[in-house]
Amino acid sequence: MRLPTLVDRLDETLSTAGYADVDASANGLQVGPDSGTVDRVAVAVDAAEATIEAAAEADADLLLVHHGISWGGIERVTGRQYGRIAALVENDVALYVSHLPLDGHPELGNASGVADELDLDDREPFGSLGPVHLGTIGTASEPFSASDLRRRLDAFEGSERDTRVLEFGPDRIERVAVLTGSGADWLDEAVEAGADALVTGEGKQKVYHEAREAGISVFLAGHYATETFGVRSLAGRLEEWGIETTFVDHPTGL
């Protein structure tokens, strides 16, 4: 497939333009030519020298990631930025990035993937940021105990540590809000939506007291582990479009 055609198709599928005013990430094609063809795509959570090199070793024409290399612009191409861009250019690997669009996409997004793994039904958008949503909230097909939900999260691919639990909610967990990565700032919205628990990747110091005072449990399942779902789902969509894919797994343990 022609690279511009693929970029346009990804942008349309992910509604990339709708996040332009709220996302610091420069979503879309971050590094690449104006033309060219794409036969194989490597997908990964992060754009780093390790994943770029793995994409090159896999003979990928494009690396598709959740976390790119441009956050609010690149003023100087030196140091770490130079190393990453040089690795892309020298290996003739283009870079496509989808940050917030791939968090909240109702079908392909990270939160949707977590909700699928947890068998959440009756889902609704959750995690508002301006005109868009970054997560989902739904009802467990069968109620969880805190230990049951923790075990399910610990089983996620890329999970290299035990899920941390702030267990301040009810013993019977039915309504679960999901916002992957760093989603602790949406705790109040989860409470207002009637959630018994918030599942996210990592937390902040203040979330302990906020959760305790609000009577809601918070599950910190790992930033990386909760954000493999989007790129893997996109890999499946790319396969449907006739493009060969490979998943570059590089867990951070965080």
What is the C-alpha to C-alpha distance for residues 73 and 252, in angstroms, rounded to an integer?
25
pLDDT tens per residue across span 168-188: 999 999 999 999 999 999 999
How confident is the model at residue 118, as a pLDDT?
A: 98
What is the C-alpha to C-alpha distance for residues 198 and 127, in angstroms, rounded to an integer?
11
How confident is the model at residue 75, as a pLDDT?
A: 84
Residue 223 is labelled as binding a ligand: yes
What is the C-alpha to C-alpha distance for residues 34 and 196, in angstroms, rounded to an integer?
48
DSSP H stretches of helix in 97-221? 100-104, 110-117, 146-154, 187-192, 205-214
CB 149 within 8 A of CB 114: no
Name, in order, each residue with C-beta under 8 angstroms of 79's C-beta and a sequence gap of 6 or more. Answer: none
The residue ranges of the chain whose pLDDT is under 50 are none
How confident is the model at residue 158, as a pLDDT?
A: 74
Distance separating the N- and C-terminal Cα atoms of the chain: 35
How confident is the model at residue 34, as a pLDDT?
A: 87
Q: In this structure, are strands 28-31 and 40-46 parallel, antiparallel, or unpaired?
A: unpaired
Residue 66 is labelled as binding a ligand: yes
What is the C-alpha to C-alpha distance for residues 105 and 225, in angstroms, rounded to an integer?
17
Specify the DSSP element, H or E, that contains 97: strand 94-97
Residue 116 is labelled as binding a ligand: no
**Pick from 28, 26, 22: nearest CA to 3:** 28
- The sheet with strand 62-67 has its strands ordered as 28-31, 94-97, 62-67, 40-46, 244-247
What is the C-alpha to C-alpha distance for residues 219 and 155, in angstroms, rounded to an integer?
14
Residue 105 is labelled as binding a ligand: no
Residue 103 is labelled as binding a ligand: yes
What is the C-alpha to C-alpha distance for residues 139 and 153, in angstroms, rounded to an integer?
16
Name, in order, each residue with C-beta under 8 angstroms of 41's C-beta and a sequence gap of 6 or more. Answer: 60, 61, 62, 63, 64, 235, 238, 243, 244, 245, 246
How confident is the model at residue 157, as a pLDDT?
A: 77
